[in-house]
Chains A and B, each alone.
Chain A
Amino acid sequence: MAVLEPSVREAMLSAVPSLRAFAISLSGNVDRADDLVQETLLRAMANIDSFQPGTNMSAWLFTILRNLFRSEYRKRRREVEDADGSYADTLTSHPEQHGRIEFEEFRKALSQLPPDQREALILVGASGFSYEEAAGICACAVGTIKSRVNRARTRLSELLAIDSADDFGPDQSTRAVLSAGGRR
């Protein structure tokens, strides 16, 4: 085994930010997420020979991370889930950038989705994978991913009570005014 090809190393590093976001969405905890990413990279480097050059490095890493999380989760199933997560803490430290209330609501809504739906939504909606790639990562049919994403979107829009883009205003008070005053 040789040192990492520069292109391979580049591809690995460029996948890290979205890998972290995915890991946070799975584990609900930044520290655990970073440990997951670390373990993923270690495993990827140890098995770099099984990576087929020319294929999607990012999808390969996501697959490894997801499998690691699944096996770890099975082990830890009896532990208390960090459902609220500490990601909320990192968000509240940047309140000026986005509407904090909106994000808090969004985080809660996201955490109420079944794990399979949340995972599919994040792969397709936030990590930029195609339905086909997401199906590969989750080892399921493309149709399954599509229906999970659809159900996740529908459920989220119900939880957040949005039925038009206008409703999802910059903050709750705006939304309250909108719904109280009759929209449009």
Chain B
Amino acid sequence: MMQTDLQTRKRRGRLGRDVQTKLGKTLQAYFDDVIKEGVPDRFKDLLQQYDERKDKGTS
């Protein structure tokens, strides 16, 4: 019985590896859309602008 397995695992305070794997995959899939967007231009520009300022010798 799965229920008994779950209770056993809960008593031991850990989850089965299959559940951990599934949670991990869902967690990653959940953020997948953001990750796939890569680096938005505003951040590339930000680093670029920093370099250009430094190049002009403001320091």
Contacts and interface: CB of A to CB of B under 8 A. Distances in A.
B24 A4 contact: no
Given A1-B54, A21-B34, A13 B43 contact: yes
Nearest to A102: B26
Interface of A: 1-4, 9, 12-14, 16-18, 20-21, 24-25, 34, 37-38, 41-42, 45, 90-91, 94, 97-98, 102-103, 106-107, 110, 121-122, 125-126, 150, 153-154, 156-157, 162-165, 168, 183-184
A122 B27 contact: yes
Interface in B2-38: 2-3, 5-6, 9-10, 13-16, 18-24, 26-35, 37-38
Contacts of A12: 47
19 contacts: A1-B54, A3-B55, A4-B54, A13-B39, A16-B39, A16-B40, A20-B37, A41-B46, A42-B46, A45-B50, A90-B33, A102-B26, A106-B26, A125-B23, A126-B27, A156-B23, A157-B23, A163-B9, A165-B18
A162 B40 contact: no
Contacts, number: 112
Given A2-B54, A102-B26, 12 more contacts: A3-B55, A4-B47, A13-B43, A17-B34, A24-B34, A107-B30, A125-B23, A126-B27, A126-B31, A162-B22, A164-B2, A183-B2
Contacts of B21: 165
Given A121-B27, A157-B15, A165 B54 contact: no
Contacts of A106: 26, 30
Contact of B19 (A17, A18, A91, A165): A165
A38 B42 contact: yes
B22 A21 contact: no
Contacts of A98: 29, 32
Contacts of B39: 13-14, 16-17
A18 B47 CA distance: 17
A3 to B, nearest CB: 4
Nearest to A162: B19
B27 A125 contact: yes
